[in-house]
């Protein structure tokens, strides 16, 4: 009977050590899972930013070219369509819809009569429309959620 308190103390110490070890392992595992998830989200955000940046760059070049030309080289449109389709895989439908609208605006601009430099300058002074404004805002809203 004299050994019971010592035995209970030893068992309690072992159980405490076991619980502490399991807690430590669990905490480390959960921390690692959280860190991995955050790294994955950061990587996804970086990829989306690069994709949106590429679209804005390509779209801007086309939009500047459109008032001076009735036609465009098809490969330039293929590139922009490819970028939009890459967005369809990873972006919300609002971002893709705004990208489609921006591209349609540019295609419509190509279909119009060519403008001279002074005509373009006059359009700018009268409030040159920005077909990428709604797209940029949709991207900004999406990226804020990351």
Say how far apart CA 62 and CA 108 lie, in whole Å.
Answer: 12
pLDDT tens, 12-30? 888 888 888 888 888 888 8
Residue pLDDT, tens place only, 90-99: 999 999 999 9
Residue of higher predicted confidence among 40 and 68: 40
Domain ranges of the chain: 43-144
pTM over 0.85: no
pLDDT recorded at residue 58? 92
Calculated CA dihedral for residues 44, 47, 53, 57, nearest 10 degrees: -150
Confidence bin at 73 (pLDDT 50/70/90): low
């Amino acid at each position: 009977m004299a050994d019971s308190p010592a035995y209970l103390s030893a068992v309690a110490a072992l159980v405490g050590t076991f619980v502490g070890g399991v807690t430590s392992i669990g905490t480390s595992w959960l921390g690692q899972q959280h860190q991995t998830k955050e790294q994955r989200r950061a990587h996804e955000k970086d990829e989306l930013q690069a994709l949106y940046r590429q679209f804005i760059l390509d779209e801007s070049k086309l939009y500047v070219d459109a008032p001076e030309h009735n036609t465009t080289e098809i490969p330039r449109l293929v590139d922009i369509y490819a970028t939009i389709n890459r967005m369809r895989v990873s972006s919300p439908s609002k971002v893709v819809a705004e990208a489609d609208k921006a591209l349609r605006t540019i295609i419509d601009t190509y279909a119009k009569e060519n403008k001279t430099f002074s005509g373009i300058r006059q359009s700018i002074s009268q409030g040159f429309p920005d077909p990428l404004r709604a797209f940029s805002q949709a991207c900004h809203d999406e990226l804020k959620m990351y």
